[in-house]
Chain A
Amino acid sequence: MRHTAKICFLSLLPLFITTGCWNLKEPDQLAFVAGNGLDLTKNGKLEASTLLVIPAGIGGGQINGGEKKESYQVMNATGKNVSDALDNIQSKLSRVVFAGHRDIFLVGQSLAEHGMGNTIDTFMRSSQSDMRAMIYLVKNGQPKDVFSSAPFFEPFITTTLSEEQEAIGLKPYLAREFVADVWSDATQPLLPVVSLNPSTHYSYNGSAILNKDDGVKLVGFLDKEETSYARWLTNRLISFTLTAFVSKGNGNISLSLDNLGRRIKVLQVGETIQIDVHLTGGGTIIENSTKLDSSKRKDLLLIQKEISLQTEKSTQKLVKKVQEAYKMDIFGFGESVHQQYPLQWKTLKHNWTKTFPTVAVSVSVDIRINDSGLTHSSLNKP
């Protein structure tokens, strides 16, 4: 009895070593995807583009006389849906496409205008999809053009794009957070935007507002400054350079802000809802072209007050603009109402898209100058 058992187990042993063979894929049989782009062609077909890594092009060390190979290749194909388009890309390749290291999703403007709701399923369903990819919208251009633009620091543009947001002080916006926003009760997605310059290099260009309740359609754009304020309001801003005109000193002052914070208080007055936002930040003066001397307490307080007031005005203006022109709750105010008045929210949430534009929002800003830099008064010679 024991003997037969042992023989049985021994005969199983080779399986332990060989089962991987079905799935054996050497790296040289794979085509690694660094980024995927989706867009509509002029005649309304869904087009996928893929940035593929060419390992031979990256290889460091000596270059053996021959010309240097490109480190990437962009492939495009159209299809009935995302997978079909990607499959059509596969048919042009001799290596199996592997998306496990994908960093970037790009969405073309025309797809976003048409509504990208029915392309989102592919972001998470595939077993290869990792949860760390970032997402951008491409304004005035197509994903494939951004993919083809030559990067200068890294071998591929996708690495550059994935470091871009952190470099400009934004908390990176990941594809999974985008999906979470699309599925949230109230918050509307705010996608970072890149666009192509005439010199065919990309540049970060603010953000795009999408309407999750209408097929995730593009509603409008915010510029870079507005995006910073919007991100500050949603607590997704890490650092920020603020330039404001200080009328009493007759000049501009620039602050490098960090320690950014936000507090939202929801008040219910009768049937109407009022939202008080309090923004805080601390900063260092990096440029002073005014007559004020930041080493004097009176002047310093004056600068603080003026800059806070200016920021208050800009933020109020942004909120008003979003409420009136776009009517989309990109600030997550609905989420704050949800958290602070959970019982009332159960009835409010059905009508939130209609309520949001009418909600009274007041913004107060408290900016502190923690450091006035290495000099006292302005060095500018009048």
Chain B
Amino acid sequence: MSKKRFTLPNWAAYLINAALFAAFIIGGNAVLSSGALPSFITKVAMLIGIQVIAAVSLNISTGYLGQLPLGHAGFMAVGAYASAIFMTRTGIPAQLAFPLGIVIGAAVAGLFGVLIGIPALRLKGDYLAIITLGFGEIIRVVLLNIDSVLGFKLTNGAAGLQGIPKTTTFVNAWLMVGLTCFLIHTFMKSRHGRAVLSIRENEIAAESCGINITYYKTLAFSLSAAFAGAAGALYAGYLGILNPSNFGFMKSIEILVMVVLGGMGSMAGSIVAAIVLTAAPEALRAFDDYRMIVYSLLLIATMIFKPSGLLGRYDFSMKRIIEKCVNGELFASFRRGRGKGAEEA
């Protein structure tokens, strides 16, 4: 203890993380485009990216804010339709319309998050779950029927919104994953993120510490919705055709399962669970019929054996790992038994 611990400067940590991420994108792209793997692997990789964004964004309101919304797919639908309508209706070339579409999808979904969050967040626990479930369904039903009821030619109802340019690629999907994780991480490690955590921990104490809980609940909720909207926009560019049935209640549950399984409040957990739960059914094609059974069994097993999720509230930090390596204490926590709680990243 007498020797001064080595700490990695922040700029170096950011640089290392950025370099590793860039290596992952470039390497992944090189492998996928080399033709060594079957082409559906690329599709799966994109889908995984989209699911990761959805799971990580739900983790804001579930893991960090401590609420249980059940309408996350609704926000994805809003983002997907907003960006798809923007891309198909404006004459802007797809290469430019796509990034704009993601921003628009995120913004519109974020707005919906505010609108739904203000009434919904007055409630707690199961009441909030039911009200968000209702909102998620309303969004889906509105998308299904708005054309025939109001005579628009916007969503094309059950026939599906067709002709969306398939602009999602491995690179832009995963760049978006990186951006999402970065923004959520930097948000959480700030006074705003701590305010959100304090609401999860103890609302009354948070209030008496001068934290405007209504503001921060709504902020976290709409941030969660906005990133879900971005995931939806990528999903639109991935599918090329949108149908309201893509965003049903089961989709919300699917995302929630990822978050709960990975560990509520752990971004790394959400990412791992999203990867596993998206890749596994694809890898076990023949197993696909039993997917929901496996889901349920997985959930039951996790809740029995590790109620806090696979990673609990542990969050991966390259900085911490490097520091531990240099200080020669990488496995110290294993030797001591259980390690200490998650530190600052």
A binds B: no
Identify the A interface with B (CB < 8 A): none
Identify the B interface with A (CB < 8 A): none
